[in-house]
Amino acid sequence: MRYHRILVALDTSFLQPAVYEQALVEAKLHAAEVKLFHSVEAEINPLGNSTISPVGTPLESGYLSPSAVDYELARQAWDAQIAESKLWLQEFCLKAEHQGIKTIFETELGNPGPQICERAKDWHADLIVVGRHGRTGLKELFLGSVSNHIVHHAPCSVLVIQGETVVSEDSI
């Protein structure tokens, strides 16, 4: 199977370099173009609903219906996270382009699993490359599993990079 479009789901975890490097390996192997994508998770929204599962009671976790001030502060924090992610995505994009890989990037606010699947569908990706943190049991129940969601809902093939996986730059 040959891949033409590879969507790379990047986060800020320790897996970021391994996911990125493996995506470049695949892009070179298949002469594919790459789209780097990062989703900034929103913990509250204007309706007061949580987009991720809270841990603890509402008072302990801060998952209360936000006031206008709280929402504005959250919006400023989200905007700052999006701006920061655009900077590092742009750096990754330039590095890939220097290696002859056609690359674009996108970042936005929302729930990563569904967003990644939707971006893959909209962009007609052949492959999604994503990291797996290895959460199990209660951690997975409360924090969710982005990679699990993607594997079960993706419109294309998925390459999951395990937490222990390390791709050396020598192999690229």
125-171, pLDDT tens digit by residue? 999 999 987 655 544 444 458 888 999 999 999 999 987 534 444 44
Residue 161 pairs in a beta bridge with: 131
Report the phi/psi class of residue 36: left, alpha or beta, with left for phi > 0 and alpha for psi in -120 to 50: beta
Q: Which of 90, 101, 117 is nearest to 32 (CA)?
A: 101
Whole-angstrom CA distances from 79 to 51, 86, 103, 119 are: 17, 11, 23, 20
pLDDT tens sequence across 4-54:
999 999 998 888 999 999 999 999 999 999 999 999 987 654 444 444 433
CA distance 150 to 32: 21
Tokens of 64: 């209360």
pLDDT tens sequence across 86-133:
999 999 999 999 999 999 999 999 899 999 999 999 999 999 999 987
With tokens 């990754």, the residue in question is: 92
CA distance 153 to 111: 14
